[in-house]
Amino acid sequence: MNLALFDLDNTLLAGDSDFQWAQFLIEQRVLDREVYEARNVEFYEQYKAGTLDIHEFLDFQLKPLSRHPRSQLDAWHSDFMQNRILPIITPAARKLVEEHMLAGDLCVIITATNSFVTAPIARALKVTHLIATEPEQNDGEFTGRVSGLPCFREGKIARLESWLDEHNLTWLSFLESWFYSDSLNDLPLLKKVTHPVAVDPDATLKAHAERNGWPIISLR
């Protein structure tokens, strides 16, 4: 059996669901534009530069979830999926996932973006397995805090290995492994697989891929 890992934002998606979710809430007037928009852009720039403080960002990103009932959040997310996300799932991204599924590979989306935002996206891509940052819940409602280790940078490796252990698997369970990502933040996990693939990469990842002979592809 082989393992196929997929980053989500700017990899399988031609955009960033984390950033788009905050912008969606601003446009719905759930969040105050003056207060939140500049901060959202600032965090996104830090992420692209590889300087993001993940805990500071998660405090910003998860707090709004705690201010509204889950039923309302789910209703907003349904609109978000239709208007913001489905248009940025490209045919090439769907084809890549389907190819690995048809080959019998174990397919997993692994993303720093929280599971409330990303679980419906994984379902839209027909990927059963999702490893994401987990927002803390109390009786089905969000507390605004993170649960456990964020799925970010080296944390992706730790979360993946914990997930594999839960499924009675290890790296040695797989003959070959792929990881598709666009971001310099995923270099730790890209270095762990047998087939690292840079997808529409940022400048840092592109340079690293070129130096190391990694494939560079576009799903746009």
Active-site residue list: 7, 9
DSSP track, 15-78: S-HHHHHHHHHHHTTSS-HHHHHHHHHHHHHHHHHT---HHHHHHHHHGGGGGS-HHHHHHHHH
Coil vs helix vs strand at 153: coil
Phi, psi of 156 (to 5 degrees): -65, -40
**What six digits make up the tokens of 195?**
């087939």
Determine contact, residues 19/60, Cβ cutoff 8 Å.
no
Determine contact, residues 93/107, Cβ cutoff 8 Å.
no
Nearest residue to 108 (alpha-carbon basis) of 183, 164, 187: 164
Q: What does the alpha-carbon distance between residue 168 and residue 160 come to, in Å, rounded to a whole number?
A: 12
Question: In terms of C-beta density within 10 A (0-12 exposed, 13-18 middle, 19 or more buried), how is residue 97 classed?
Answer: buried
